[in-house]
Amino acid sequence: MKIGEVFEAEVIDLTSAGQGVVKHPLGATVFASGVWLGERALFELHSIKGRVGFASLKELLVEADVRRQPPCKYQGHQDGQCGACPWMIVDYKAQLLAKQQRVLTNIHRIDTKAEVHTIWPCGSEFAWRNRVQFKSDGKKLGFVSQGSNTLVDVESCMVLSEDNLSAMQTLRTQLPNSQWQAPSKKQPWSTLDVDENSGAEGVSVNKRLAFQQANTQQNTAMRAWLHNKIKAMGQVETALELFCGSGNFTEAIAAAGVKNIHAVEGSREAIEALACKNIPGVYAEIANLFDETIFESLITEHKNTDVLVLDPPRDGLKQKKLLFPKKPRFKSVFYISCDLATFCRDARAFIDGGYKLIEVQPLDQFPQTPHVEILAYFKSKK
């Protein structure tokens, strides 16, 4: 393969990042953005890493039936275009089918008998995002091109909720703004975090706001799923919740009737927010869940706890060996995941450790992207 060469190929797969997978005429795997499964195109090779190539779309020869003209004028895969919604190139039904197939394929690699339900679609493919991070160099405000540091000046964003769109427009009236200039050479822009509670007046510059699920409607569905699953178990006395945040799922666990909940999170701000909710039966604790010694003491303390609830970050559950003695410590495990790959890695460990994967419920929290949320229920085999 040579940088700059143009070759013709068909898209044979889609990656977890949403790129198309094609085969170079010499047999090497090449990744390219802006294409869909089954399409045929001319690609220009722009980089090579090891045995894998990366190419840009030069000319589309055969279009997928599901392809559409992106309704957002800023969307694109080239430098100078917004890369935040890579799957806006196809209709929403096709996005859902692709996510469903990826979940089925990956789950059945680790457990062919696991029940994988049909993905829950978002009520609207637009206007769903309740929190957002803009980027600004003091002159522009918007998002970054895919695979580059190019800041795209965006006047309006279709996936933002009405409140966040209003906040965006208010922030844009403050341009130019010297306080939003690049803080360093390594970071060529400032980050501006906004959610529906903060508004433009409470924008957080170069500091993330407290985490919350980005899609209000789908968060309600996730909370209801967890509540109903625990409720259906009958009387549950105790639960250990790891990565509890500010109590989003803690509220659902308590509402299901669990009398004693030990909620653990690494963020002091999140634990303080949880404490302010005064949920009956909840003991909240700050702990580094990636520290093996802390994790060991937590698991030992809760060896007789009924239910384990997990909602880790994208990296998944790094410390987990202690969860799997000869006899499973928990009767049931509910794992809420924002990354399919790390979920499958952790799910395999749970299965090998004496748990059965009862069901998986995919959920589309981020339309126009390849992201998929996973709700999973494990049960002890003993």
Mean pLDDT across the stretch 170-181?
Answer: 96
The number of distinct structural domains making up the chain is 3
Which pLDDT belongs to residue 319? 78
Residue 245 shares a structural domain with residue 368: yes
**Is the domain of 314 the same as that of 344?**
yes
User: 169 and 113, same structural domain?
Assistant: no
Verify that 119 and 157 share a domain, yes or no: no
Q: Is residue 322 part of a domain?
A: yes
Q: What is the DSSP letter of 117?
A: P
Q: Is the pTM of the predicted complex or chain greater than 0.75?
A: yes
Confidence of residue 20 (pLDDT cuts 50, 70, 90): very high
Quick check: 145 and 81 in contact, CB under 8 A? Answer: yes
pLDDT on residue 323:
78
Both 235 and 332 in one domain: the answer is yes
CATH code for position 315:
3.40.50.150
Alpha-carbon Rg for the chain, nearest whole angstrom, is 23
- Domain closes at, from 174, 205, 236: 205
Residue 164 domain flag: yes
Check whether 303 has a pLDDT greater than 80. no
Query: Cβ distance 40 to 10 under 8 Å?
Result: yes
Residues 239 and 110 in one domain: yes
- On whether both 226 and 111 belong to a single domain, the answer is yes
Per residue in 31-87, pLDDT (tens digit) is: 999 999 999 999 999 999 999 999 999 999 999 999 999 999 999 998 899 999 999
Average pLDDT over residues 182-193: 88
The whole-number pLDDT of residue 298 equals 84
Q: Are the C-beta atoms of 143 and 156 separated by less than 8 Å?
A: no
The catalytically annotated residue of 82, 122, 338, 344 is: 338
Q: Where among 157, 184, 205 does a domain terminate?
A: 205
State the pLDDT at residue 158: 97
pLDDT at 341 over 90: yes
Going across the sheet that includes 52-62, the strands are: 6-10, 40-49, 52-62, 29-32, 20-23, 13-14
Evaluate whether residue 88 is within a structural domain: no
Please indicate, yes or no, if residue 92 is contained in any of the structural domains. no
Both 282 and 159 in a single domain? no
Q: Return the closest-CA partner of residue 117 out of 381, 375, 380.
A: 375
117 confidence band (pLDDT: 50, 70, 90) = very high
- Kindly report the length of the chain: 382
Q: What is the mean pLDDT of residues 11-35?
A: 95
**Do 368 and 226 lie in a common domain?**
yes
Q: Is 361 in contact with 335 (CB distance < 8 Å)?
A: no
Q: What is the pLDDT of residue 213?
A: 93
342: tokens are: 């790390």
Could you tell me if 201 and 286 lie in one domain?
A: no
Same domain, 253 and 354: yes
Which sign does the torsion angle of CA 177, 183, 188, 190 carry? negative
Which segment of 35-44, 183-192, 341-350, 373-382 scores lowest on mean pLDDT? 183-192
For residue 159, what pLDDT is reported? 98
Using the predicted structure, report yes or no on whether residue 318 has a pLDDT greater than 80: yes
Q: What does the pLDDT average to over 300-305?
A: 83
Inside any domain, residue 87: no
- Whether 17 is covered by a domain: the verdict is yes
**Tens of pLDDT along 235-290?**
999 999 999 999 999 999 999 999 999 999 999 999 999 999 999 999 999 999 88
- The verdict on 327 and 225 lying in the same domain is yes
Strands across the sheet containing 115-116: 115-116, 355-363, 373-380, 332-337, 307-310, 238-242, 260-265, 282-286
- Distance separating alpha carbons of residues 311 and 230, to the nearest angstrom: 15
**Last-in-domain residue among 171, 205, 239:** 205
**Would residue 72 show up in a list of annotated catalytic residues for this protein?**
no
Assigned domain for 222 exists: yes
For residue 148, the enclosing domain spans 131-205
Query: Above 90 in pLDDT, residue 337?
Result: yes
Assess if residue 311 is contained within a domain: yes
Give the pLDDT confidence score for residue 149 in this predicted structure: 82
Confidence of residue 134 (pLDDT cuts 50, 70, 90): very high
